[in-house]
Amino acid sequence: MQTIAKQLGAGDPHVTELADAFVLESGTVLQGVRVTWHSWGRLNNARDNAVVVNHALTGSADVETWWPGLLGPGRALDPERDYIVCANVLGSCYGTTGPATIEAATGRPYGSRFPTITVRDMVRLQKRLIDDIGIRSMACVIGGSLGGMLTLEWALLYPDVVRSIVAVAAAASQPAWAIGWSEAQRQAIYADPDWRGGDYSQERPPRAGLAAARAMAMLSYRHWGEFQSRFGRRRRADGVYEAQSYLRHHGETFIDRFQASSYVTLTRAMDTFDVGAGRGGCPKALAGIRVPVLLASVDSDLLYPVDEQAFLARHIPAAEHVVLRSPHGHDGFLIETDSLNAFVRDFRERLGKTVKEEVA
């Protein structure tokens, strides 16, 4: 790997390009893969104080924008102690190679030619980045939702590098309910005539389809009780129900920051996620995780209910399971950051004390 952008100030973006080919789990080869990432803090002399943060489906490497309650001095992700790294995942549209990237061989976006990818592909690319940075081991890997999937895979793929993990609002494999939601959202994108099989024009992307997909996603990310108490049957002055207005707003703002092709690529990758694939099934695979694990649930999560994390806790030997109380559904892991920060900070502080006692 060769680094293109020099390290900038804390939180500034970096771009790293692979000097050689990247082979996907499918066997497909990608050339010239780039990774865009952010960092906070400094790597210590032992090169072992790194914390990798994994973002969710439509998130980015800028942790400050979506987990500010966990990032900062004295918090769970402390740049005065940790070297914090967050990379945009493979397939994203925030700088890391994805379907909207210009393919060198054709001079056009990959579009429909971008290959099928998996969560393991995303983690393997992150490992290439970590090696390039010079990190020897990681104090912790943490993430929620899709980020939680990556976090579990980190512990399974690289057990000699990861010393602890925190998986939030995630499951051992993508549940049928979540697969159904993702398929409905993709069908909305496919139904937009501007989709053009994934080879759409950047001047005329499938905006209506992507907005509809986002509106559907918001229903899965929230809780029906919150909608009822927040909106009820109230209408705006123009007669539009406030619940309708909320969904329309999220759809309209989303199309200005995300690519339909990345949305399709990443949701397909999530659908194939299964820690037990090729490992003898989920219980056997999870039993092989030997590092300390903190699992966090949201009690109102309809997409990845508490039962999913309870399953993880039953099968991972050194797992702790905590539950965030929130009316906000799946998105509670992005909203109840004070509670989540306290859980994660306590978990990491106890691990730190145990290490010191063992050394002493």
Instruction: Give the residue numbers marked as catalytic.
Output: 145, 301, 330
Q: What SS3 string covers 24-81? A: CCCCCEECCCEEEEEEECCCCCCCCCEEEEECCCCCCCCHHHHCCCCECCCCCECCCC
Please check whether residue 29 is in contact with residue 121, taking contact to mean a CB–CB distance below 8 angstroms. Answer: no
Q: What are phi and psi of 58, to 5 degrees?
A: -105, 15
Instruction: Tell me, rounded to whole angstroms, the distance of Cα 49 from its chain centroid.
Output: 21
- State the Cα–Cα distance between residues 186 and 343, nearest whole angstrom: 35
How many CA within 13 A on the CB side of residue 69?
Answer: 13
- State the Cα–Cα distance between residues 44 and 13, nearest whole angstrom: 20
Please check whether residue 333 is in contact with residue 324, taking contact to mean a CB–CB distance below 8 angstroms. Answer: yes
